[in-house]
Chain A
């Protein structure tokens, strides 16, 4: 595992923008995340793939400080963030390093705040800019995510799911983070909207130096957006490597089963996919 991390790190010019080492999380008797390590070099994208109960969302929550790790270290931009932030300033700094976009665009926005006001609040808090500069940046960000003037001034309830997710992405980008965690951020979107948002994320990646950590169960989305992948099964990393290599030639039985379960032209579902996966019976915490 240490070798794999060293190998990932070598490919980058600078050190990783995000590094997680020996990460562990226990909920009572349940070990949700067990000795997980990975590194994300600058301007690259890592996918964390897994099903319900794999621990993928718990990892995201620990990185952004919504859960505290039982053991292990999390380092972003060279600074440790394993322990809770000690001051508002510290919390702000962390916010400028890592931001997150959640799955559900219907619950992650303040229903009383317009898209503009949502972005403006982040700009004020993180950069302390004057009104004119904030206004110019709001126009840039809403333009970048493809919201028109009317949508930028609308409350979330007047926006569709895809439009809300654009607001959530613009809000996250307003803090100018080095790492953007996408926690199933396109999973709830209709196919035609999902394609628009995936293209948007690719455009943003090409025009900024942001790194993505994509948390997803959808292997086609993972293929489209990421360079590297780790496969998580019941809290343990069972396989890691280049996304294309892992998806084209999976090595671990679980990855193989995952790959074989994806509907595609000519695909026929087979019984027995669950054999050896008694974990399906076990409910997630």
Chain B
């Protein structure tokens, strides 16, 4: 069943057809830190078709949030960007002014901590309807009606009253639902969701995830869902990309990611999580710590220093993303390791760094 495709493009072509809504090609980002330009993304390529949900999974410093920020043109000042981002056929990097505002209405973003992204002294209705009123010229009364309706869609019943409230009067879970409703009001085509449920309780997370999934399908919305949780991504995403040290190391149909990964890092990540259904004598910890792009070794596999499957070939050059079994893997031994990367295999089980 192992059918290696030599070129990444070939594998990308094996995903269902349809022109990509968003296309990221060879994105490399460097940020100025203490006078030096440090790489945070290396050669990231990603395609999202209309209506498709794509997961982006990784640990701290992997570059998953930076990817979303680059797509929404929210990188810090002085960022050095290489590569291409195309939305609906148009170049995103050259947008400015009114075109930029229209783009952000089309590509809406929701963040991990809604409280950090909302003005605490403005009423919920005021900020929810802002884009409608200022960018799209919708009359205030009509904008308020639409906002109240949308609150109903995210499960907030007394919308009219909520519009008059301030953010501090709402719980975290309710405020995040308000943020989702606000993002949907401009009828976007793509939602960039950056750990939108990480700060929420698990029962609230389940509710918010269900709402996101329902409304996304209802509105035919594409989504880039960023999380550190493989299982959460798998629950609502068609495909999932796994990032490590600023690179995409695997792209896989979400349902296969946990049980049949293509990259040793994905396998190690799945194996390191404790299991709610059983107690392990010891967890299969990954030695060392996750590296940022600028800390990772260059000219070899970035995961090599922590990988249980490392061989000389892994140190010889930076592996390319190769197509494999309908997915992509940035591992020099990917083909050789097929079938060996299931949870519970390939680890000494007790390594510690």
Contact = CB atoms under 8 A, between A and B. Distances in A.
A191 B273 contact: yes
A271 B214 contact: yes
A27 interface: no
Contacts of B281: 202
A192 B235 contact: no
Nearest to A145: B352
B274 A198 contact: yes
Given A192-B286, A196-B285, A217 B269 contact: no
Given A195-B285, A269-B209, A282 B204 contact: no
A160 interface: yes
A160 B201 contact: no
A217 B197 CA distance: 14
A257 B279 CA distance: 21
Contact of A198 (B60, B202, B203, B283): B283
A162 B289 CA distance: 8
B268 A192 contact: yes
A192 B59 contact: yes
A247 interface: yes
Contacts, number: 146
A42 B231 CA distance: 36
Interface residues of A, number: 49
A3 B232 CA distance: 39
Interface in A207-262: 217, 219-221, 223-224, 244, 247-248, 257-262
Contact of A190 (B213, B290, B352): B290
B272 A191 contact: yes
A223 B278 contact: yes
Given A146-B353, A264-B231, A268-B235, A195 B202 contact: no
Given A191-B59, A263-B231, A274 B202 contact: no
A196 B171 contact: no
A199 B203 contact: no
Interface residues on B, range: 35 or more
B274 A265 contact: no
Nearest to A270: B210
Nearest to B154: A271
Contacts of B214: 271
B203 A277 contact: yes
A223 B203 contact: no
Contacts of B213: 269
B318 interface: no
Contact of A261 (B171, B205, B236): B205
A81 to B, nearest CB: 30
Nearest to B306: A192
B228 A190 contact: yes
Interface string A112-130: 0000000000000000000
Contacts of A277: 203
A258 B203 contact: yes
A80 interface: no
A194 B272 contact: yes
A146 B274 CA distance: 20
A262 B277 CA distance: 11
Contacts of A194: 272
A281 B274 contact: no
A51 interface: yes
A260 B213 CA distance: 17
B256 to A, nearest CB: 10
A109 B295 CA distance: 25
B269 A224 contact: no
B330 interface: no
A193 interface: yes
A238 to B, nearest CB: 13
Q: Which 10 A-B pairs have the closest CB atoms?
A: A269-B209, A51-B201, A224-B274, A195-B285, A263-B231, A261-B206, A195-B272, A269-B210, A192-B286, A195-B283
16 contacts: A146-B352, A190-B59, A198-B285, A200-B352, A217-B202, A223-B274, A224-B280, A261-B206, A265-B234, A265-B259, A267-B234, A267-B235, A271-B210, A273-B207, A273-B210, A283-B171
Interface of A: 51-52, 146, 160-163, 190-196, 198-200, 202, 217, 219-221, 223-224, 244, 247-248, 257-265, 267-274, 277, 280-283
Given A162-B289, A280-B201, 20 more contacts: A51-B201, A51-B204, A191-B272, A192-B306, A195-B272, A195-B283, A196-B353, A202-B281, A217-B201, A217-B202, A220-B273, A223-B275, A248-B277, A258-B202, A263-B229, A267-B235, A269-B236, A270-B210, A274-B207, A282-B171
